[in-house]
Structure 1
Amino acid sequence: MIVIQRVRVRWTAKARAAPAANARRGLDQAVPLPRSLPEGDVVIHEVLADEAVDYARHDEVLDGGVEQARSIGLWLGRNGKTVTVDQLPGSAGYPRPDASTRLFMLTPGQVGRYRANFRFTGCACNPSWYYEDWLVHVSYGQVASDHFVHRQPDREVDHRVHLYGGTVHRGRRHP
């Protein structure tokens, strides 16, 4: 079983200022998993805190095979007892989507953490930007409901960038 939790925080350009940043501070943290998860090969706990609803968290659980991870921009591959986790190219306006990027490889019992942020636009006809900050945990094996909250990851990748311009990059990679 592979358990994934993606926590996203979303805001618009009007919420870029410091008071709005303070309102969303700390929302990009792991949260407890629902107590009962489906028995699928891949289970995804999707959590969204959106400025449009005053950052009230909305969550849902998705389950299925490895193809289910594509719905959140990840590609999972299996090679023997190893699971590879890749980031798929997405629709972000910034940073520009590259080809698929290897995030990490996990063996049974290991957890990986991936952090990223993005600037999106709905379509070419709509110049309104919105932003997302992602925290993604991937566990190769079943986990307790508070596993991602308390456990340090075995692998960690940080692809966050300065979203409002400039070239500041806080990236670190521990494959």
Structure 2
Amino acid sequence: MIVVQRVLTEWTKRSRGAPGAVRRNAVPEAFPLPPAVVFHQVTAYEKDDFTPASTADDIIPVRSGIRLSHSPDGHLTVTSATDVWCRCVMVFPRRPERVVLDLPPGTWGRWRLNFRLWEEDSDWRYQKWVLNIADLPGPAPTGLFLATPPIQRDDLVQLTTPTRSRQENRIR
């Protein structure tokens, strides 16, 4: 059974520094799963003071930000689907579609990414996505994603210089 949890946090420049950034950064990267769910989305918006709200579905929506497929060896291949991130005029940084996780059967992983969005007649908005994805032989335990992920990909970038990852910025 494939289970996806997306935790989406969105803010504007008002929450780039304290005290907004403190509340924004306090949003967990995983939440307990509702029973028998396939897609669980948790959103935390600045306009709601970063109070998490969740929805659950029995299908993975097309606009989930990922494409899933099983490889011949049984691994779940998770590919980024950059065409569905936003219907905005601009998204920074631009990222190519690529495999972001390769999950052996019975495992799960976490992919973290962030970006800036701009629409005409609006200010920049910022988003952080955390996607927790499992490929299990049966139903997912409620607390599955609350543990440390066995496989993780971190594509968080410094949003003021969106061409480098945070790790690359620390090296310089």
Settle same-fold status: TM greater than 0.5.
Answer: yes
Q: Distance in 2 between matches of 1:128 and 1:158?
A: 26
Q: Distance in 1 between matches of 2:163 and 2:28?
A: 22
Matched residue, 1:140: 135
Matched, 1:61 2:59: no
TM-score in terms of structure 1 length: 0.82
Q: Distance in 1 between matches of 2:129 and 2:25?
A: 13
Unaligned runs of 5+ in 2: none
Residue pair 1:48, 1:59 contacting (<8 A) in 2 also: yes
Q: CA deviation at 1:153?
A: 2.1
Q: CA deviation at 1:69?
A: 4.8
Matched residue, 1:37: 36
Q: Distance in 2 between matches of 1:57 and 1:71?
A: 20
Q: Distance in 2 between matches of 1:86 and 1:166?
A: 21
Matched residue, 2:152: 156
Q: Are the structure 2 counterparts of residues 61 and 137 from structure 1 closer, same or farther at C-alpha, using a change threshold of 3 Å?
A: same
Amino acid paired to 1:86:
T
CA RMSD, Structure 1 to Structure 2 (Å)? 2.0
Q: Are the structure 2 counterparts of residues 169 and 16 from structure 1 closer, same or farther at C-alpha, using a change threshold of 3 Å?
A: same
Matched residue, 2:42: 47
More strand by share: 1
Q: Distance in 1 between matches of 2:66 and 2:144?
A: 21
- 4+ long deviations beyond 6 Å: none
Q: Are the structure 2 counterparts of residues 57 and 74 from structure 1 closer, same or farther at C-alpha, using a change threshold of 3 Å?
A: same
Identity of aligned residues (%): 31
Residue correspondence of structure 1 range 91-102 to structure 2 within 5 A: 91=86, 93-98=91-96, 100-102=97-99
Matched residue, 1:16: 16
Superposed CA offset, 1:40-59 (max 9, x none)? xxx11100011111111110
Q: Distance in 2 between matches of 1:131 and 1:37?
A: 31
Count of matched residue positions in the alignment of Structure 1 and Structure 2: 160
Q: Are the structure 2 counterparts of residues 104 and 30 from structure 1 closer, same or farther at C-alpha, using a change threshold of 3 Å?
A: same
